[in-house]
Amino acid sequence: MGRLKMADRPALKILVVDDAKAVRDLVRRALAPLSADITEATNGFNALYAMEKSLPDVLVLDVKMPIMDGLELLTMMRTNPTLKGILVVMLTSPADHAILARLTELDVSAVVQKPFAPAGLEEAVHRALGRSRA
């Protein structure tokens, strides 16, 4: 058997979860150099539905969203055997400083504060991918 070519490898799958379309669009543009298959959800509940259809390799997750926020989704994921190994890059705001310790407890791969530079988000995803899955 021959070696896998880049085109033969499955695409990196990223799910972006944020209630603001402008942020989802910015994340999509920032991660374009990764040539990933990027899907979107507007809240944690919709993200759970999206993950039932196709498990992502990386979740880019906002903290504050309606219906189900990022912390609630992350807490559920870490107790679910199917979802607990998904790498998470958390998008926070300066007001979220009180939950940073909790994010560490929930094994977040990287934290990116909004507003973010596209290169900073791309670097955070690269750092997350450099970690081994549990």
Q: Does residue 43 belong to any structural domain of this protein? A: yes
Q: Say whether pTM exceeds 0.85.
A: yes
Provide the domain count of the chain: 1
Q: Does residue 64 belong to any structural domain of this protein? A: yes
Q: Does residue 120 belong to any structural domain of this protein? A: yes
Half-sphere CA count of 8, side-chain side, radius 13 A? 5
Q: Does residue 87 belong to any structural domain of this protein? A: yes
Q: Which domain holds residue 68?
A: 12-130
CATH code at 61? 3.40.50.2300
Q: Return the closest-CA partner of residue 118 out of 40, 19, 31.
A: 31
pLDDT digits (tens, 9 = 90+) for 87-131: 999 999 888 888 999 999 999 999 999 999 999 999 999 999 985
CA distances from 64 to 3, 11, 58, 109 (A): 44, 29, 19, 18
> What three-state secondary structure class fits 54?
coil
